[in-house]
Amino acid sequence: MTDLAAGPEAPAPVARPLGRNMATILTSRTLTMGIQFVAFGLLAANLGPSRLGIYAFALAFASMFNLLTDIGLRSSLTRDAAQRPGDEAHLVPNVAYLRLALAPLAYGLMVAVLFGVSYTTDQRRAALAAGLLVFIQPFEVFQSTLEIHLKMRWSALADVVESVLALSGIVYLVHRHASVESFIWLYVVVNALNIFGVALASSLVTRYRWRPQPRTWRPLARTAIPLGVAALFMALYYRLDIAILSVVHRGAAVGEYGAGYRFFEAYTVVAGVLLSVLTPVLARSVVQDRSIALRRYQRALYIMLLLALPVAIGGAATATRLIPTLPGFDHFRGAGVTLAYLAPGAAAVSLCSVVQAMLIGAHGQRRLLMIAATCLAANVGLNFALIPPFTYAGAAVATTITECLVLVLSARAVTALLGRGFPVANVMRALRASVVLAIALLLTAGVHPYTQVAVGVVVYLLALMPTGSLRWSDLGGVLNHADGMRAEVDTIAPAHPRRDTRVVVAGTPLGVFRQLRGCRECIITGPVPGWVGPVARMARCGRVVDATGRRRRGWQRLFLDAPSDH
């Protein structure tokens, strides 16, 4: 079995470090989202739908103008530094300097728009406070170093610390019956601490050359602008919905939508972080060998598909009943409706994180710009058509349709660049476990939503391997040893073993596990017990093959490699 990197021609396998980084990120994000859920529940219960609408508006409105300091610099920096490692030391600081120079212009434009549209005084004051992050965001570029060197544990730790500080601050402000603006100032401060903490960790990984080089700024901007405009268009169709909703249906409708959208954002943040890990890996693959890049892309997209499908199906089936039962959300039934419509869009966003990472790595920024412009136009039309009659439900449907359109167009662009895309047969295979999930959710529709979600999670995980939706080869070496000995397992030791092979006698499961540790592959050469396959997988053997010619049945075959995989 080859790793995610790979085949024998791959210069440097990356599956295991990539797997460690993804595991670290997913673990930290799970912990962070749990803390944020508690914090947001307290916030929602304290502010209520109307004041929560002001909070959600301020953060969404300000985030659109944060992108004006980026203009695509972050994405192009990660790609270029991954493909030209020698330039990283001076590129990262100079991108930060360039973004700092753009920050006052972005804030000034935000103020002009804020006072040029008929927003309320409370909305304006809240947005002005949230917009101050525009002067902090330029330092975010230092995280690119951690992404390129696959050292995301520092960023993951910073996210957890930020969420703990935010929860502590919200508890204190709720106790003091603070205003909406106080909660926004808390948001600004904890985000600033996160960004500066990550920048400090990055400086320990790479010795930067801090001298400003203004002559490099114009080439940097020229390369980045197509990505920046595309990112701006994407941010607009992410945020225009709540801006339009704030004008057409003020008050509780905005709070309902903002609460549901918060859950949507929590999931898309995970996708964004995974994108930050995949972008340098895929970018480096493009300059090494496009066949390697295509293999990594297809495998990463398949794993993401297995994560995205249950989100789309489970969210659509359970969110309407689930959200109002959560602590602090008993008055937010509309948030559940919003999230149910947004769930398929969240799945599309996570898939786009892989597709667009490949598109950026292959220098397809102009294609991405055209996709973003097309989808922005479609989103504006959908919002103006659906929000007036359907309020927050219309805004959610517009977002989901737009995200699905982005996914389809981006996937077609990658196919045009690489010559091949993602096989439809893989989509059908991934859907097998999701069909089982849909049946389980349908059968449990009458039980408490907590029970329904728990049953759905367990059923989906149990269905992955028996249905063939997940095979060991799909993991691409993420969990396996990249090197090591070949092991042969039998009930009797051979008289003349091969010199490069470790002979393992199938005695006890613990004994076999200890002997297989560190082996890259396990070959079954005799009539061994059925537990040898699972034990070999737990020992992280990359390949487990039954060479006896016997046909394995039932659960035993789930842990063996099919001949077609090799």
**pLDDT by residue (tens digit) across 87-139?**
778 788 888 888 888 889 989 998 998 888 878 888 888 889 988 988 988 88
Residues β-bridged to residue 485: 519
Q: Evaluate if residue 505 carries a pLDDT over 60.
A: yes
Beta strands 501-505 and 519-524 are unpaired
CA distance linking residue 151 with residue 208, whole number of Å: 17
pTM above 0.85, yes or no: no
pLDDT of amino acid 552:
66
pLDDT of amino acid 13:
53
Q: Rounded mean pLDDT of the chain?
A: 81
**Residue 227 buriedness (CB in 10 A; 0-12 / 13-18 / 19+):** buried
Give domain limits for the chain.
15-422, 423-477, 480-565
The domain 480-565 is classified under which CATH number: 1.25.40, 3.40.50, 1.10.10, 1.10.287?
3.40.50
CB contact at 8 A, 46 and 510? no
pLDDT 10s digits, 33-74: 788 778 878 887 788 777 887 888 888 888 878 777 777 777
pLDDT of amino acid 272:
66
CA distance linking residue 26 with residue 355, whole number of Å: 19
pLDDT 10s digits, 233-254: 877 777 777 778 877 776 677 7
Q: Evaluate if residue 461 carries a pLDDT over 50.
A: yes
pLDDT of amino acid 382:
92
pLDDT of amino acid 94:
84
pLDDT of amino acid 246:
76
Q: Evaluate if residue 296 carries a pLDDT over 70.
A: yes
Q: Give the residue-averaged pLDDT of 544-558.
A: 75
Structure tokens at 24: 């670290």
> DSSP characters for 534-566?
HHHHHTT-SEEEE-S-----GGGGGGS--GGG-
CB contact set of 206 (below 8 Å; sequence gap of 6+)? 88, 89, 92, 145, 149
pLDDT greater at residue 286 or residue 162:
162
Q: Evaluate if residue 510 carries a pLDDT over 80.
A: yes
* Candidate from 119-123, 266-270, 498-502 with smallest mean pLDDT: 266-270
pLDDT greater at residue 98 or residue 386:
386
Confidence of residue 8 (pLDDT cuts 50, 70, 90): very low
CB contact set of 548 (below 8 Å; sequence gap of 6+)? 524, 525, 526, 527
Q: Give the residue-averaged pLDDT of 411-428.
A: 84
* Candidate from 25-39, 177-191, 378-392 with smallest mean pLDDT: 25-39
Structure tokens at 564: 């077609």
Q: Evaluate if residue 451 carries a pLDDT over 90.
A: yes
Q: Evaluate if residue 23 carries a pLDDT over 60.
A: yes
pLDDT of amino acid 356:
83
pLDDT of amino acid 9:
38
pLDDT of amino acid 22:
66
CA distance linking residue 346 with residue 356, whole number of Å: 15
pLDDT 10s digits, 306-356: 988 999 999 999 999 998 888 777 777 888 899 999 999 989 988 988 888
Q: Evaluate if residue 21 carries a pLDDT over 50.
A: yes
| Main-chain phi, psi angles of 10, to 5 degrees | -70, 130
